[in-house]
Amino acid sequence: MNQRSKIVKLGARDVVTHGLARPFGANAYHFFLTLSWPQFFLAGACSFLLLNATFACIFLLGDAPIANQNPHGFWGAFFFSVETLATVGYGDMHPDTMYGHAIATIEIFIGMSSVALMTGLIFARFSRPRAMIMFARHPIVRPLDGMQTLMVRTANARQNVILEASANLRLIRREVTMEGVEMRRIHDLRLVRQQQPMFMLGWILMHVIDETSPLWGATPEILAEQDAGLILTLNGVDETTSQPMQARQTYTADVIRWQMHYRDLLHVDEQGVTHMDFAHFHEVLPLPPTATQPQDDTAERSEA
């Protein structure tokens, strides 16, 4: 086992971890699942070339183990290794000694195992559900029905139906106990509506900042001093695949916009057709001086 540092992303913050023993290859499966598709195929190609180059060098250690080797030297052994690993067997080159047969046997076994492993990884990557949930870049705090309200706009970018969607919003901040111990604590923020039976287009999550709220009396300066942040998680079931979907988003205190409102996404044209323009999804605007008009009800209208 070896111990090495690792960079872990906690929202917008990088945390470097130390002192964890990690057995070699223990996280290989997770590593290949979290790679992007170009990185995955690049890693597969590099592994393929490296494995064949290794076996080519092993073949060259023998005394003429490959009959009809062409070209001679490393490249001939490399191409023979490719044919053996893929179990192609053109017939031009073939093992010609006991040493060559033994190495070819080992390589064929590794090649068949590698194909099965690659097939399993590709299937696992394709079958893994991915939620295409959009989160507004900025949560907002604005008065609504006479109460300051924290709001976060979300949308289903795939525009299929996510059944029984549920949301959880939490506040994490640095606090000091009565004994003077500093720690980071997580507080649940109660949502006006925590569940959505059919999440298809938009959903604005709202938390009323009343006397029971952990955000009661908070200001941008206080949240910055507390190094506060928000953690939002969404769960549901994809109606198309019947698989559970999960998505999450984190916000730091500095991205919260106070006394602002989201730009409305809906408009009705002259023919009475309703349009929803996601090009303005992230836009926030200052509240008008009176701040008496109701908040845009994008979520309610879009889910009607």
Give me the DSSP letters along 55-72.
HHHHHHTSSS-EET-SS-
| Residues 6 or more apart in contact with residue 293 via CB below 8 angstroms | none
Q: Are 136 and 154 in contact (CB under 8 A)?
A: yes
- Cα atoms found within 13 Å of the Cα of residue 134, Cβ hemisphere only: 17
43: part of which helix (H) or strand (E)?
helix 37-60
| Residues 6 or more apart in contact with residue 196 via CB below 8 angstroms | 162, 164, 165, 166, 167, 203, 236, 303
Q: Are 303 and 202 in contact (CB under 8 A)?
A: yes
> Is the bond preceding residue 139 a cis peptide, omega within 30 degrees?
no
- Residues 94, 143: Cα–Cα separation, whole Å: 79
The predicted pLDDT at position 55 comes to 94
In the chain, CATH 2.60.40.1400 sits at 133-302
Please tell me the CATH code under which domain 35-127 is placed. 1.10.287.70
Low-confidence ranges of the chain (pLDDT < 50): 1, 292-304
Under CATH, what is the fold of the domain 133-302? Immunoglobulin-like (2.60.40)
| Residues 6 or more apart in contact with residue 91 via CB below 8 angstroms | none
In the chain, CATH 1.10.287.70 sits at 35-127
The predicted pLDDT at position 86 comes to 86
- Residues 114, 134: Cα–Cα separation, whole Å: 37
Burial class (CB within 10 angstroms; exposed 0-12, middle 13-18, buried 19+) of 7: exposed
Neighbours of 176 (CB within 10 A): 10
Torsion of CA 265, 266, 271, 272, to 10 degrees: 170
